[in-house]
A and B are shown apart, each in its own frame.
Chain A
């Protein structure tokens, strides 16, 4: 039971892994093969049955003909017997007449079929015989089966089984096989009647000739038995007599006339029996089952090959048909798999039969809706990002503007008009760069220019308590950057690093290319801070700290860089207390074309 369960589980597992084409192909083939097998078995059975009936009919016809021939032959023998009896014996007084002349005439007339004609008295003594006229000295006629049968049943003619006639004295010792026809006769001697026996020895070859040419199809044959099943004629009689062959003759003696199946020595065969009139003999026709089941041994082979051929042809055609049916489904499945991988521009084909078309159409429609939804989400996200950027950038300007203008007011009030002019000029330049026609990505040179103006403003404000050095390294001149990222860091350096400086504060800005990256270092020699604190400055969950500068600080710059270029970019802060701070900005090294492409992306 567990075996079947395991088998079912294995099949279930295989079924789950099979393609729809394979399932269709196998199912069609299995059903068709089963149908063909059923049909073949039915046809074979029908063919076999019809053939069996045909063979039986043929056997009956052949046996009827053989019976007719045999009957004719036996009737002829009986006529001879009747002639001897009614025309000669009945009309003769043996005391006066000699029977031998009449017997000789009859013998000569039928010598091909006769071996001897003889008349015996009731004691078995020879009355007359031809062609041999004397009995062997030791012949025991009265004990012979044929004599006994005739003496015991006086009304009938008796046919013996084949035997070697041994009663006549023949110097040649020919040992002829005969079938003896004997009957009781009334002999007249001196006017008185007495019993006797008339013997007609038929040559066995006469019976053999009747039977031997009868054929019953391939491997079939006919044999003749008496009422007890004793073989009278068999085409392989001597092999049976020699013990090299067996026949089912005893069983056949019990069969009634007609056809039947029997199994003999492991072989199925059809046996047809026909009883021969007068004698009780039976003609038995034997047709081996193979002769009607298969006309030749190659027929089953042919059938098997044809079946295999048909099944394979079916499997082949089923495979093609199922491929045609399942291909649209497979293509649809493949498209969905590509969609699943995230490939853009995947086209959903709408082919195949009606249901598959409807399914494809539904999927295509679903995909289209999904794409629109995703585009909407992306656009919304983009807009959200842009608005965040704009908010961040807009947060810078008011603080700085307020502080700068405050300084200008202060300088104007204190009569420092030259410094005020310089500051306002720098501010104007600063704003022009800040605007940059609304572009967020600007040339690195502009950004550093912007930083320089900012530092000019701040140096005026802080009365040159620090110096600023801005350096653009070779190789980075043509690069582009996100705008307004250096200035907030300078602001932080001024307010946190230079707040306690006397005249020795140095703020250094260095821009350089490192492989595919643009690195901008903003370094001061101010108070510095603990590394842990420096690291925590960029953490997103750190509470917003308002500064004295622009009020945005390094975290805003960090977020802007990462929002624009991704997680791999942004700020890194290196600091030690009393040693100063280095803030490093890492950006992708954008050339003109890349910068332009990004700008277009932003506009979209």
Chain B
């Protein structure tokens, strides 16, 4: 009886091992099918009305999505920095089955409060501003950026009031840059004031903008005013670089938008799949016109978009 039982167990194990061998042979095919079916849906929400300023970041995001098996949905707002619309759209995305969110929050605190119950099932990664409950933030060290941009201004400053453009509403990252710059200016005894937009008239010599759209708008106005004031801003978009090259912008803080987009999606996918990941602040440089064509800055400012990466 014992022998029969033992033989039955042996045959059972033999059969199990045979099945395992067959299964492991068929496994690659099965996994391939499963992998195709399991593309993660990641929604990307900007705080602007168009995504032209985010072209490079978007390409970085698509590179990451391609590598990690995700598909992206890009969303913009009807009106810039509309926090309520951003919340509504993101909640709709979650309802529609988004696995993760990448957002440039217009109001991080409000967005965090709105998304709070959902962040466990749908992790979010932010760009530019940190958000409570998010799986990570991809941005340069905003305070340091503000300080270094102010330091660049101080190198040129020879008197006059500095206008700090407070354009990003409740975007904490942008505010952080501005506050840090204000602190440096205060320390240097440079007079400044904050304003939501450039004044139409008046003696204006120094302008600091802390987000790409404001930088671009200021430079455009500067060109219209025949470069009557110096703009210190941020951004890497081709248009902003051209403005720097033309002298409409005196100095700008630049970082790799491609890296920012890539890292944001990689972290978002990682958060969904439960892999650990820490995000270090993005390295940035404060560039002037003469720095644009240095080989390293060319790589930073003018990304090569390989067709094969998509």
Interface set of A (CB-CB < 8 Å, partner B): 162-164, 166, 173-175, 177, 204-205, 208-209, 212-213, 233-239, 241-244, 296-298, 301-302, 305-306, 308-309, 312-313, 316, 319
Contacts and interface: CB of A to CB of B under 8 A. Distances in A.
Contacts of B59: 238
B14 A208 contact: no
* Nearest 7 interchain pairs by C-beta: A173-B242, A241-B299, A242-B259, A302-B24, A212-B308, A309-B17, A242-B256
Contact of A212 (B60, B303, B307): B307
Nearest to A167: B293
Contacts of A175: 238, 241-242, 301-302
B112 to A, nearest CB: 28
B262 A298 contact: no
Interface string B27-60: 1100100000000000000000000000000011
B183 interface: no
B10 interface: yes
Nearest to A145: B295
Contacts of A244: 259, 262-263
Contacts, number: 111
B22 to A, nearest CB: 9
A242 B21 contact: no
Contact of B31 (A177, A213, A298, A305): A298
B305 to A, nearest CB: 7
B120 interface: no
Most chain A beta-carbon neighbours within 10 Å: one of B27, B241, B292, B299: B299
B18 interface: yes
Of the four ranges (under 10, 10 to 19, 20 to 34, 35 or more), the interface on chain B belongs to 35 or more
A334 to B, nearest CB: 15
A238 B303 contact: yes
A235 B66 CA distance: 13
Given A242-B256, A309-B14, A237 B306 contact: yes
Given A175-B241, A235-B308, A305-B24, A163 B298 contact: yes
Given A173-B242, A177-B302, A302-B25, A164 B293 contact: yes
Contacts of B28: 296-298
Contacts of A238: 59-60, 63, 258, 299, 303-306, 309
Interface string B216-249: 0000000000000000000000110110010000
Contact of A309 (B10, B18, B60): B18
Contact of A241 (B18, B263, B303, B309): B303
A202 to B, nearest CB: 14
B245 A173 contact: yes
A164 B238 CA distance: 12
B283 A243 contact: yes
A208 B308 CA distance: 9
B20 interface: yes
Given A302-B21, A305-B24, A312-B14, 19 more contacts: A164-B302, A173-B238, A208-B306, A208-B307, A208-B308, A235-B309, A237-B306, A238-B305, A238-B309, A241-B258, A242-B258, A243-B256, A243-B283, A244-B263, A298-B25, A309-B18, A312-B13, A313-B14, A316-B10
B17 A177 contact: no
Contact of B309 (A205, A213, A236, A312): A236
B220 to A, nearest CB: 14
Contact of A166 (B21, B239, B293): B293
Contacts of A163: 293, 295, 298
A396 to B, nearest CB: 63
A239 B262 contact: yes
B24 A301 contact: yes
A235 B306 contact: yes
A101 to B, nearest CB: 31
Given A162-B304, A241-B300, A313-B14, A305 B259 contact: no
A316 B17 CA distance: 13
A242 B303 CA distance: 9
Interface in B1-30: 10-11, 13-14, 17-18, 20-21, 23-25, 27-28
B60 A242 contact: yes
B287 to A, nearest CB: 14
A338 B21 CA distance: 47
A130 B27 CA distance: 58
A298 B24 contact: yes
Contact of A312 (B17, B245, B259, B295): B17
B268 to A, nearest CB: 16
A243 B31 CA distance: 32
A193 to B, nearest CB: 32
B63 A236 contact: yes
Interface in B266-310: 283, 292-293, 295, 298-309
Nearest to A300: B24
6 contacts: A164-B302, A175-B238, A177-B304, A212-B306, A238-B305, A241-B256
